[in-house]
Amino acid sequence: MEILREARAFQCYSCGKCTAVCPVAAVDESLSPRRTVERGMAGADLYQEELVWSCVTCKACSYVCPEDVDFPGFVRSLREGMLEAGRPPDYTHGEIMQAIPRLLANRGLTPKRYDWVDRSKVSEDGKVALFLGCGPYLDTVFGYLGGGHIEIAKAAVDILNRLGIKPRILEAEACCGHDLLWTGETGTFEKLRARNQANLSSAGIEKIVFTCPECYATLKEKYKLPGIQLVHLSEVVSAAMGDGGTAALAFAPIAGRVTYQDPCRLGRHLGVVGPPRQVLDAIPDLKRAEMAHSGGLSRCCGISAWIQCNATAKRMQLERVREAREVADTLITNCPKCLVHFKCVLREEGKDVPLRVEDWTVLVARSLSGGDARDGG
């Protein structure tokens, strides 16, 4: 009952708005946030609920809830109990994406984070840090999908250089802990948080720039970093444009029809909806259209924290890429998981959908470097 109280579940009056927008319920009617809350208040054993692991914690339910019920937080608390009871989720990819942050938390390993970067483009002692997250590992695991995650990091450095910033990349940076937090491994998350908080605070950093929405949301909502400004790269570029920097940024034309996928953590969790679009709209010849579900009501890519890659998740992904194809030739996003999941479904179940997927940061850097002959469509 304490979990229900903390989530404000007793404020629920069964209006059903949460289930109406839930992307999981949209493809599997047996799963419903409202019914889960109702059963919990009636005394049911919530640790038996399938939705505990099927929920993608996208926060669409909370976004529309008139009583501000924190269903994602409720699910996260239930997951802690599920792990304690020895009932983990179905981990994907041999559990390697969980093993990496666990090793970083418990072994104190320091990954090599400079192998890919031109040292002349970064600072050894600057006040602005670029938080890389787990992107550098993803090309190793998902190279068969075309990779490109190291390119995101390189593109972010190039964009910041265009703005007159040489970012600092901290060798001691560890995984932010997002996925472990949301799958109930709170103790390991706390170790990662303590390590990162100590490293960032002692480095004299004044601003941290993120490309990964999940890293951004985790540090902004779960860390304590007094005196350090946290911003997403899209906010940095958009702010520069707002200060009259559009001409100085010199966007080159990229022709094509694109649509933008709002990452759950960036759009709903943090409310950063306008900046990524404003930057895309500044690129000449790039025609952007909105999907039927966008902004705060954007649909999740189908999988949270590298778990439960099942038929329900694939249906969510397939419906989303089809929705994107209705208005565009290329889907743009700035979430590493969205990139992986949409590329994966287009390679398999959705191979009949003629849609390309591209990262926002890479596209923007390409425009700033003069564009190229390859269009955005």
Q: How confident is the model at residue 377 (pLDDT cuts 50, 70, 90)?
A: very low
Give me the mean pLDDT over the 219-245 stretch: 92
Locate all alpha helices (DSSP H) within the chain, ordered by sequence: 2-6, 17-21, 23-27, 33-41, 51-54, 60-64, 71-84, 96-106, 135-142, 149-162, 178-182, 186-202, 213-222, 233-240, 246-249, 264, 274-281, 311-325, 336-347, 360-368
Together in a domain, 224 and 271:
no
Structure-token pair, residue 298: 């954007």
What DSSP state is assigned to residue 107?
S
Rounded to an integer, what distance in angstroms lies between the CA atom of residue 18 and that of residue 88?
25
Location of structure tokens 């930057």: 279
Rounded to an integer, what distance in angstroms lies between the CA atom of residue 337 and that of residue 303?
8
Rounded to an integer, what distance in angstroms lies between the CA atom of residue 372 and that of residue 324?
23
pLDDT at 167 over 60: yes
* Residue 289 in domain: yes
Report pLDDT digits (tens) over 294-326. 999 999 999 989 999 999 999 999 999 999 999
pLDDT at 179 over 90: yes
Q: Give how far the C-alpha of residue 286 lies from the chain's centroid of Cα atoms, to the nearest Å.
A: 24
* Residue 358 in domain: yes
Together in a domain, 71 and 150:
no
Locate all alpha helices (DSSP H) within 207-310, ordered by sequence: 213-222, 233-240, 246-249, 264, 274-281
Q: Is this structure's pTM higher than 0.75?
A: yes
* Residue 376 in domain: no
Tell me which of 270 and 374 has the higher pLDDT. 270
Q: Which residues pair with 358 in a beta bridge?
A: 332
Return the pLDDT at 119.
Answer: 87
Together in a domain, 34 and 58:
yes
With beta carbons less than 8 A apart as the criterion, state whether 54 and 34 touch: no
* Residue 375 in domain: no
Together in a domain, 259 and 297:
yes
Structure-token pair, residue 133: 């997250």
Together in a domain, 259 and 339:
yes
Together in a domain, 255 and 342:
yes
Last residue of a domain, one of 235, 262, 294: 235
Together in a domain, 76 and 98:
no
* Residue 298 in domain: yes
Rounded to an integer, what distance in angstroms lies between the CA atom of residue 230 and that of residue 359?
21
Q: Which residues pair with 231 in a beta bridge?
A: 209
Return the pLDDT at 371.
Answer: 62
* Residue 373 in domain: no
Return the pLDDT at 220.
Answer: 98
Structure-token pair, residue 283: 């690129």
Together in a domain, 262 and 155:
no
Rounded to an integer, what distance in angstroms lies between the CA atom of residue 302 and that of residue 310?
9
Return the pLDDT at 355.
Answer: 98
- % residues pLDDT > 90 (the chain): 76
Number of domains in the chain: 3
Q: Which residues pair with 359 in a beta bridge?
A: 333
Together in a domain, 29 and 137:
no
Return the pLDDT at 116.
Answer: 82
Sign, Cα dihedral of 357, 362, 364, 369: negative
pLDDT at 277 over 70: yes
Q: Give how far the C-alpha of residue 111 lies from the chain's centroid of Cα atoms, to the nearest Å.
A: 22
Give me the mean pLDDT over the 198-205 stretch: 95
Return the pLDDT at 374.
Answer: 45
Report pLDDT digits (tens) over 339-361. 999 999 999 999 999 999 999 99
* Residue 241 in domain: no
Tell me which of 166 and 45 has the higher pLDDT. 166
Instruction: Give how far Cα 252 sits from Cα of 220, 376, 377, Å.
Output: 33, 12, 16
Return the pLDDT at 376.
Answer: 41
Return the pLDDT at 37.
Answer: 86
Q: Which residues pair with 331 in a beta bridge?
A: 259, 357
Q: Give how far the C-alpha of residue 355 lies from the chain's centroid of Cα atoms, to the nearest Å.
A: 21
Give me the mean pLDDT over the 27-38 stretch: 87
Most confident residue range from 9-18, 137-146, 216-225, 237-246 = 216-225
With beta carbons less than 8 A apart as the criterion, state whether 337 and 214 touch: yes
CATH label of the domain that carries residue 28 = 1.10.1060.10
Give me the mean pLDDT over the 61-84 stretch: 94
Return the pLDDT at 338.
Answer: 97
pLDDT at 103 over 60: yes
How far the first Cα of the chain sits from its last, in Å, is: 51
Report pLDDT digits (tens) over 35-65. 888 888 888 888 877 778 999 999 999 999 9
CATH label of the domain that carries residue 364 = 3.40.50
Return the pLDDT at 249.
Answer: 82
Rounded to an integer, what distance in angstroms lies between the CA atom of residue 320 and that of residue 327?
12
Last residue of a domain, one of 33, 61, 84: 84
pLDDT at 115 over 90: no
Tell me which of 30 and 308 has the higher pLDDT. 308
Together in a domain, 77 and 134:
no
Round the average pLDDT of the chain to a whole number and report it.
92
Together in a domain, 153 and 230:
yes
Together in a domain, 106 and 209:
yes
Whole domain around residue 173: which residue ranges?
A: 93-235
Last residue of a domain, one of 56, 84, 112: 84
* Residue 377 in domain: no
Q: How confident is the model at residue 369 (pLDDT cuts 50, 70, 90)?
A: confident
Position 139: which residue type? D
